[in-house]
Amino acid sequence: MFNFLKPTVRQAPDPDAPLTVSTGGVLPSAETQQRLDENKASLFTSDLSVSEFLLLEQQGYQPLGFVMGTSVYHVGFQSASWTESTELDVLTKAMYNARHLAMNRMTEEARYLGADGIVGVRLDIGGRHLGLGDDLMEFIAIGTAVRHPRDSNARKPPFTSNLSGQELYKLHLAGYRPTGLIMGSAVYHIAHQGFRAAWRTFGQNIEMTNYTQGLYHARELAMTRMQDEARVSGADGIIGVRVSEHPYNWTDHVYEFLATGTGVHRDETMTVQREALGVQLTASLDD
């Protein structure tokens, strides 16, 4: 495994350091400071639905503000043999670094608000519609910062989670806490089929083993890295796992395989409310 893919544990900030908006070398705008200060004062903002808001409130969570982080990143170039399935580690590194920049900036906004966590985190990539060019991508991380009075500790890095408000509510009822949004990535070149191989399979029902093997290996890399990151975070497991692939602006047969999920840890101090987890069956009288 490449060194840059080695999972790292984020260190807690200095408890004696003043709380300020830090965005990793990018100066926050006056509007950013004003928006967050208004959130701290009295007005919260959120992308939670009504149901999510009410359920989280029932569990004691207080929404603090809508937080975001972004990074416009120049993604480098790496070539690969036309007939070879292989990882493009230069591109993998770029995707990791850019996402972590965006997530760290989102987390810093949440920490400034005194949050314990960020729920409903969404990661997105754009840029082309902004006319930035094919080699530039905007990496975006957004979510809602929340605080739980019982566990409030603004000096500890807030957890991140892509779970919805309803899912986080059920997680707490079962006695689990999220450790953070976990991900693994691999940018992979899938080998083309040679002319002779294409001729041999012409008109036949037959598996294309070179494509199958390449796709298998790429997904396994992403999922293995996700699991490695979960172990470092202290998670007992990962829920809500999604595995996706995207071509973005690269040439044919080059894709990013991304595995994401939320790491969870069983908290023995929490009271499990199993009666509230019972399945309810609702039947429509119109059918």
What average pLDDT does the segment 106-122 reach?
93
Q: What is the pTM of this model?
A: 0.79
CA distance 150 to 132: 45
Kindly state the average pLDDT of the residues 241-265: 89
Reply yes or no on whether the pLDDT at 284 is more than 60: no
Q: What is the pLDDT of residue 19?
A: 42
- For the chain, the helix, strand and coil percentages under 3-state DSSP, each to the nearest 5: 35, 25, 40
Specify the pLDDT at position 181: 95
Average pLDDT of the segment spanning 135-139: 85
91: left (phi over 0), alpha (psi -120 to 50) or beta: alpha
Position 23 confidence tier, pLDDT thresholds 50, 70, 90: low
Tell me what pLDDT residue 198 has: 60
pLDDT at 26: 60
Q: What is the pLDDT of residue 152?
A: 57
- pLDDT in the model for residue 9: 39
Residue 207, pLDDT above cutoff 90: no
The rounded percent of the chain whose pLDDT value lies above 70 is 76
Task: Provide the pLDDT confidence category of residue 242 given band limits of 50, 70 and 90.
Answer: very high
pLDDT at 248: 79
User: Comparing 232 with 193, which gets the higher pLDDT?
Assistant: 232
What pLDDT sits at residue 281? 39
Kindly state the average pLDDT of the residues 50-57.
Answer: 93
Alpha-carbon distance values, 281 to 74, 166, 278, 287 (Å) = 51, 17, 10, 15
CATH topology (fold) of 27-267: Translation Initiation Factor IF3 (3.30.110)
Give the mean pLDDT of 191-214.
Answer: 74
* Whether 174 contacts 277, CB under 8 Å: yes
Q: Which of 129-133, 180-184, 260-264 has the lowest mean pLDDT?
A: 129-133
Q: Can you give the pLDDT at residue 10? A: 42
Query: What's the pLDDT band for 267 if we cut at 50, 70, 90?
Result: confident
Q: Could you please report the per-residue DSSP string of 92-111? A: HHHHHHHHHHHHHHHHHHHH
Mean pLDDT of the chain: 80
Residue 90 or residue 19, greater confidence: 90
Question: Considering only 2-11, 43-52, 88-97, 195-204, which range has the smallest mean pLDDT?
Answer: 2-11
Predicted local distance difference test score (pLDDT) of residue 192 = 75
